[in-house]
Amino acid sequence: MLTSGFNLRPVYFASKLVLAAGILLCAAASVAYASSHREAPLIATMPKVDGTDFYMFNSYEPNRSGYVTLIANYSPLEDAYGGPNYFALDPNALYEIHIDNVGDGKAHLTFQFRFRNTVSNVALNVGGKQVAIPLVQAGPVSAGDSSKLNVNETYTLKVLRGASHEDSEGVVTGPGGITTFTKPTDFIGTKTFGSVSGYASYARQYVYTINIPGCGAPGRVFVGQRKESFAVALGKTFDLLNLNPLGPRNGNANDLSDKNITSIALEVPAQCLVGERGTSVIGGWTTSSIRKERLSDSDAAGISERGWTQVSRLGMPLVNELVIGLKDKDKFNNSKPANDGQFADYVTNPTLPALIESLFPGAKAPTNFPRLDLVFTFLTGFQGLNQLRTVTPSEMLRLNTSIPPTPKGSQKNLGVLAGDNAGFPNGRRPGDDVVTASLRVVIGVLCTFNKPGIFGCSPSDAPAGAAPLTDGAAIDDSVFDNSFPYLTTPIPGAMN
């Protein structure tokens, strides 16, 4: 259950409309049965810019106290053998990680990534003619020799400050003042890279120490393919929750166990993220945007800034798949947290708990409306744990940077529910089982906690609130690395 190390007093809002909006997005965020893969009609056609997971946690690598790690995953369901072009990110897109250190649902600090692919035009002498090869590599590749690569993917990184980027903009630099960084080629196979350890060494050379303008200490960045970091019984979940929700937490196969992902990972000094706002709590989310001219008028019905139209947005997992109505899924991806009130009708009376009850009659849905218990967990945070000074209901991850990280091996994968205040929903670590934790919250576990009524509900409002629900595809910190970027070496496309 929740620990008592922070103040759980509810926050009341002056406007009933604002509260309704909070309930909506909170309920949406709280039903995270899986990560966001192909969650909306438009983004399903653009996998290169489809955000799948977002992590934000206090770095737990030894000797990295005072740093926060931000990881945004893109390009869902990568098959390791997906050649010959593999999974480069989109050079005509904008990838961003946003930080709100005020609490108004606006980005006051943005890390902006742009990518570029360069073809080397490697050719072979065939009958006296130099003919370009059809592959991304012409021979073995290693940490010390990338000369056989035919395609090189690079990126630049900027930091923007101010809710409208009006304060300042700076270019992030690396060793020797470089401003262009290299993304390692995907793990084509062990014949190309020698071995799994050979690829790990090759990729590791592209973890850069960086200087971030306006930060007093250096950070780190890595962009590249990793093994898919999420675990879920994906097929069963969308087959009318074809699960055993009271069964063992490892009773189902992880349908993503044979997939890779592309990760954008940053490690930033916490003091740089919180700024001078007088709070240690931050909110975060990731977005991607493409040029407006690439969309039809009907596709681009949303925010468009600086010639870009936002097409993907992700803070908490699975907001869009199971809550937002089909007609508004693209609109949600195109929206900002500060404007989340526009989706209030979808979860003022959330449908997912009712669906769970209809499919599993023993799992009685909570009857407390509005669902304040969900608001605090996923939308406003808890006072004394992860609540910003200004409380604007908005869907994003919230992290208290002053709570010491729990070391690898001691983390509890149910996070705060299991007494580990360094875990979900206080940020999100790769080993947090957000599926199981969220299932239990959505069915009303908070209504059974501590003093009745503290979350606007009592045990009688949540008959199944104490049920140990699970999707059966457990995950924990043991399957991740103990150093940045934490996500592990991807699966090779072929073994030699």
Q: Does residue 27 carry a pLDDT above 50? A: no
Q: What is the pLDDT of residue 7?
A: 43
pLDDT-derived band of residue 166, with 50, 70 and 90 as boundaries?
low
Closest-CA residue to 8 (of 395, 322, 483, 449): 449
Q: Does residue 284 carry a pLDDT above 50? A: yes
Tokens of 474: 């457990």
How far, in Å, CA of 263 to CA of 48, rounded?
Answer: 12
pLDDT-derived band of residue 368, with 50, 70 and 90 as boundaries?
confident
Which residue type is seen at 385? Answer: L
pLDDT-derived band of residue 31, with 50, 70 and 90 as boundaries?
very low
Q: What is the pLDDT of residue 184?
A: 97
Over residues 11-33, mean pLDDT: 35
More confident residue, 13 or 113: 113
pLDDT tens digit sequence for 54-107: 999 999 999 999 999 999 999 999 999 988 889 999 999 999 999 999 999 999
Quick check: helix, strand or coil at residue 51?
A: strand
Q: Does residue 209 carry a pLDDT above 60? A: yes
Tokens of 122: 């490697």
The least confident of 20-29, 228-237, 284-293 is 20-29
Domain boundaries, the chain: 43-461
Over residues 232-249, mean pLDDT: 80
φ/ψ of 14, rounded to 5, equals -70, -25
More confident residue, 21 or 67: 67
In whole numbers, what is the pLDDT of the chain averaged over residues? 85
Q: Does residue 335 carry a pLDDT above 70? A: yes
How far, in Å, CA of 402 to CA of 34, rounded?
Answer: 29
**Distances, alpha carbon 326 to alpha carbons 41, 81, 330, 441, 444, in Å:** 8, 32, 8, 24, 26
DSSP H or E run through 440: helix 434-442
Please report, rounded to a whole number, the percentage of residues in the chain having pLDDT higher than 90.
55
Q: What is the pLDDT of residue 1?
A: 40
pLDDT tens digit sequence for 382-410: 888 999 988 888 888 999 999 999 999 99
pLDDT-derived band of residue 213, with 50, 70 and 90 as boundaries?
very high
User: Do 460 and 366 touch, CB atoms closer than 8 A?
Assistant: no
Q: What is the pLDDT of residue 294?
A: 74
Q: What is the pLDDT of residue 30?
A: 36
Q: What is the pLDDT of residue 4?
A: 39
The residue written with tokens 């869009």 in the block is 320
